Structure 1
Amino acid sequence: MGNTPNIRFKGFTDDWEQRKLGDVFEQTANIVNPNEEKIELWSLTVEDGLTSKTERYNREFLVKKDNNFKEVRPGDIVYNPMNMTLGAVGYNGMSKSVAVSGYYTTMIANEGYDSYYINTWLKSPQAISLYKIFATGSLIEKQRVQFSTLSIIPATFPNYEEQQKIGQYFSNLDHIITLHQRKCDETKKLKKFMLQKMFPKKDEKKPEIRFAGFTDDWEQRKLGDVLVSLQNNTLSRADLSNESGVAKNVHYGDVLIKFGEVLDVGKEQLPMITDERVLSKYKASFLQNGDVIVADTAEDSTVGKCSEIAGLNGDIVLSGLHTIPYRPVEKFATGYLGYYLNSGAYHNQLIPLMQGIKVTSVSKSAMQDTDIVYPKSVKEQAMIGNCFQSLDHLITLHQRKCDEIKEIKKFMLKNMFPQKG
């Protein structure tokens, strides 16, 4: 089984033949100046391959810094010699050329080799294991695979027809991944737009976008008049269990990173408090559906991010370290407070109240005088909450589909190429 894969398309039974990669690829070195030739500047990442730099870098600074850029033409393959052992390989499947750093290696597959098959194989576990064997450099973190090294690596290849089949299969997987990722990103942008438009701006009493049938001005109150604070515990993660306990605990780090605007307690796996004495100490602060947990500490301006409790059905849940738990004094529709308190309309009020340099925090007393606006109609609140929950559902759906196809691709990369490359 050394020179045939575990999974093959029907009709292909021949052994794969060994080639040196120097027979498979031809190195290219088309030097360009992106400013003079009006060509886009792109980068290369392990995760995404060939990636546009326009959103991440100052183009003028980079081009002035070094005019030694290489052109990656349609059908070309590009890799980073310094990160080749991590799979930093990209393929230009577009109809236009782009420019990359002169430090990268650019090449094209010779006749008789399918470009998409080659590009896929170059990032397979079998290929990466070969790079690690042949890479030069005494330190592992500084090992390189220059083209001269790549050229002597032996690997097995199927005939051209089988290459095309495999290349097309992975092309289809990549297309589906890209489709779901794009849908996910588009829905995130729509959500961001709606968060800006569905809540009134500062000193205004109505939002720009509103559901039909609602025309009344929104209420404006001080946070301290609308929400009363509960007591949080100060247990560290070391004091908690991932298996069993007497109560669930919401940690500030999970509010900042893991949880969304609405935390469905019944669906999320929460760490557990194991000390029964904690229950009697914090009995008056057991959380209820509709309560809001604010993370009061962070390493950036995300401090103040919150999650609204929902889906709680008999469980005991407490708000943990570096959080401020709040309970509304009147009934709000599910989701409204969670999405509003995370919107720019409210969160921008917290920015001037933040204290600290490396670690930023906002105090309970400072939050008391911030303004909260909301529609008087609970029905309108519910429609707003449902709107954003639907958007979040779509985001989760597309991300899950994207991740599922990535797992299929990962499995196929291990099994559609011979184990020894």
Structure 2
Amino acid sequence: MNSEIKQRIEQIKNGEIPKGYKKGKLGIVPEDWEEVCFSSLFTSNSDYTDDLEKYPLYSLTIEDGITAKTDRYNRAHLVKKENSYKIVRPNDYAYNPMNIRFGAVARHKGDTPVAVSGYYDIFTTVHPSDLTFMDNFLTCGVMITYYNKVSTGSLVEKQRVHFSDFLKFSLPLPPLAERERIAKILSAQDKVIECYEKKIEQLKRMKKYYLQNMFPKRGETVPKIRFKGFTNPWEQRKLGEVFVEYSEKGHEELPPLTIIQGKGTILREESDRNLIYDKSGLKNYKLVNQDDFILHLRSFEGGLEMANTQGIVSPAYHIFHGNNSDTKFYYPFFRSKYFISVLLKPHVYGIRDGKSIDVEGMKSIYIPCPSIEEQNKIGDFFSELDNLITLHQRKLEEEKKKKKALQQLLLTGIVRVLS
């Protein structure tokens, strides 16, 4: 970033208008950016259907855009009349009038038409070359601010942006040629992000494959894949024999820990969750030592977690210490689909968020027990694989931050992309 751009950013931060810029509806923008009415940029595509066999039902989420319905987002049972679904064709946009204030607008990037809730508004760009630019512009920070400014409704939680008002927006935009050049830069960054996402998925598939093949199948005593030098059959022992439960309280001098599914524990003070608790109650919290396992409130869906450091946790949790066992070996096993869905499931009772685990029943589960040397080998292998996944996830987050920075600079005109 050159000194001229840095100076421009500093001026804007201080509320000054740099030379060649003006104050518009979206903030400070280049003087040559003219206001463009959205009715000249977008056109409505509101076709209804009740044929969910021909048009599969999709959701619109802020995180994933237009995505296939899951049980979590399935609201089909709430629809009370026919013809209540709208067709979304490839490259159509859908937005939720009530949630566009939070970024709920996205383009359908699939190859076939789908159906979404009839509550959504559907539109597409007049200029096909505008698609990538609008993917970024419609959800950027200044637009989120603008949606909140112009949304209507007597109750804040029900405020919305009607499509008729959306088409009346008249906002400063770069000329079409510059929009295309901006889109090209952001598209290149998207490809970098996509590469890291594909690599992470590849590594996760690899981990899943090895989990399925480096542990014996049900009723078997040897895995399909083994390290050289190991030939003995694996023992099967009860979980409660390999891991002993303990409950030790009165350690309020130790830091309280928070469970993060798939990541073990972190210091509660470092958690982004706004947890309020009575510090006088810490004397009743349970001690957990590093590398010990924790049976927590959501273990029925994510398996056991492992303590990354020594600390104290909620008295509602159960703590297990392994004797002559490698936690790096057992951690991926205790979080595997086989353990959660096959071995643990018979000991889960209750419904929905009221589910709990019968601890004594869990202790009776037979788990694999190879020699400690083989445990070490397998544990180190999965630990290195997890470290590689984490490394790529960090790089992915860095690239996503770069994209946000590019969006901030390019979509506001702080950095120009001129021919």
Deviations 1:137-170 (A, max 9, x none): 2222222222210122221011122101111222
- The count of corresponding residues between Structure 1 and Structure 2 is 383
What are the residue-to-residue correspondences of 1:143-292 with 2, within 5 Å?
Answer: 143-233=159-249, 246-251=253-258, 254=259, 257=261, 259-260=263-264, 269=267, 287=289, 291-292=291-292
Report if the CA contact (8 A) 1:72-1:100 is conserved: yes
Match of 1:15 in 2: 32
SS in 1 for 2:164: helix
Q: Do 2:292 and 2:327's aligned partners in 1 also have CA atoms closer than 8 Å?
A: no
Listed one character per residue, the Cα deviations across residues 51-75 of structure 1 (whole Å, up to 9, x for unaligned) are 2337867799799964443333343
Contact preservation (8 Å) 2:22, 2:28 = no
- 2:344 aligns to what? 350
1:414 aligns with 2:405: no
Q: Relative to structure 1, is the Cα distance of residues 397 and 140 closer, same or farther in structure 2, using a 3 angstrom cutoff?
A: same
CA distance in 1, matches of 2:163, 2:302: 47
- Structure 2: runs of 5+ lacking an equivalent: 1-20, 271-278, 415-419
Deviation at 1:112, TM superposition (A): 8.9
Normalization by structure 2: what TM-score?
Answer: 0.75
What is the aligned partner in structure 2 of residue 391 from structure 1?
Answer: 385
What's 1:124 paired with? 140
Match of 2:397 among 378, 382, 403: 403
Give me the identity figure in percent: 33
Q: Select which of 325, 332, 346 maps to 1:339.
A: 332
Residue of structure 2 in register with 1:107 after alignment = 123
User: Are 1:116 and 1:167, in contact at CA under 8 Å, matched by a contact in 2?
Assistant: yes
SS in 1 for 2:263: coil
Contact 1:293–1:319 (CA under 8 A) maintained in structure 2 = no
Asked if the contact 1:200–1:345 (Cα under 8 Å) also holds between the matched residues in 2, the reply is no
Give secondary structure in 2 for the equivalent of 1:207: coil
Partner residue in 2 for 1:302: 301
Cα distance in 1, alignment partners of residues 57 and 45 from structure 2: 18
- Cα distance change of structure 1 residues 42 and 328 upon mapping to structure 2, 3 Å threshold: closer
Deviations 1:258-300 (A, max 9, x none): 634xx7xxxx55669x99x97xx99xx7736xx52222x4157
Say which structure, 1 or 2, has more relative contact order (CA 8 Å, 6+ apart). 1
What 5-or-longer segments of structure 1 have no aligned partner? 240-245
CA RMSD of aligned residues (A): 4.1
What do residues 219-264 of structure 1 show as CA deviations (whole Å, max 9, x unaligned)?
12233433333333377xxx6xxxxxx534545xx1x52634xx7x
Report the TM-score when normalising by structure 1.
0.75
Q: In 2, are the aligned partners of 1:75 and 1:108 still within 8 Å (CA)? A: yes
Structure-1 separation of matches of 2:102 and 2:411: 18
Letter in 2 for 1:287: N
Q: How many Å separate the matches in 2 of 1:300 and 1:324? A: 11
Q: Residues 204 and 234 of structure 1: is their aligned pair in 2 closer, same or farther, counting only changes over 3 Å?
A: farther
| Residue of structure 2 in register with 1:369 after alignment | 364
Structure 1 counterpart SS, 2:94: strand
2:163, 2:139 → 1: CA distance?
Answer: 16
Structure-2 change in CA distance of 1:192 and 1:15 (3 Å): same
Q: Cα deviation per residue 1:89-124 (whole Å; 9 max; x = unaligned)?
A: 112344544333332222222249722212311111
Report if aligned partners of 1:41, 1:54 keep a CA contact under 8 Å in 2: no
Indicate yes or no: 2:37 matched with 1:25: no
Larger deviation, residues 27-36 vs 215-224: 27-36
Q: In the aligned structure 2, how far is the partner of 1:48 from the partner of 1:162?
A: 28
Instruction: Give, in angstroms, the shift of residue 27 of structure 1.
Output: 1.8
Given that 1:34 and 1:41 are in contact with CA atoms closer than 8 Å, whether structure 2 keeps it comes out as: no
Classify 1:416/1:234 alpha carbon distance in 2 versus 1 (closer, same or farther; 3 Å). farther
Between 405-414 and 44-53, report the one with greater CA deviation.
405-414
